[in-house]
Structure 1
Amino acid sequence: MADTLDTLPAGRWAAIRAVTHSQRQRLLELGFIPGTIVRAVQISPLGDPVAYEVLDAVIALRRCDARCIHITAL
């Protein structure tokens, strides 16, 4: 079971539990809000960044940023 967003496999859904990051406000503004459902859409060929679907938008995040988003896999 995935604990942070960077470990979520492509095509899987999860609920965001918490965001702990120095740029927490930026991530919240992008839609990574606790309680929101997110899906890993596509992983780049080299593994970084990863595209996530959140609030009807697709947003690419570096794995180091995604590692600070705590999730519960669905």
Structure 2
Amino acid sequence: MENSDNIISLKNLPVGKSGKVINLICKKSKRRRLLDLGITPNTIIRNERVSPSGNPIAFNIRGTVIALRKEEAEEILITIL
């Protein structure tokens, strides 16, 4: 089990930093969509950039850059590497 002090929401991951997925706290179709995008426990995700308006955020997930809205990224718990 990860130390809860190190667990943050993906939306709070600083640009240029990477984290490891701990858990998805969303349910049903939202959860299925994130799993289909390859966001599964132990996946390494890197914050590539934030749009000028702050929403969406571009993440590198398994070698592919995917944009997620802050509301979606908030439901992904990670630990910073």
Query: Which amino acid in structure 1 is aligned with residue 68 of structure 2?
Result: L
Q: Does 2:70 align with 1:66?
A: no
The alignment's C-alpha RMSD in Å is: 1.1
- Among residues 51, 62, 74, which one is paired with 2:58 in the alignment? 51
Q: Does 2:19 align with 1:7?
A: no
> What's the offset of the Cα at 1:2?
5.8
TM-score (norm: length of structure 1): 0.95
Distance 1:2 1:42, change over 3 A: farther
Deviations 1:14-37 (A, max 9, x none): 000001113101001101111000
Structure 1, unmatched stretches of 5+, are none
Q: Percent identity?
A: 39
Structure 2, unmatched stretches of 5+, are 1-5
TM-score (norm: length of structure 2): 0.87
Distance 1:41 1:2 in 2: 20
Spell out structure 1 runs of 4+ moving beyond 2 A. Answer: none
Determine the structure 2 residue equivalent to 1:41.
48
Determine the structure 2 residue equivalent to 1:18.
23
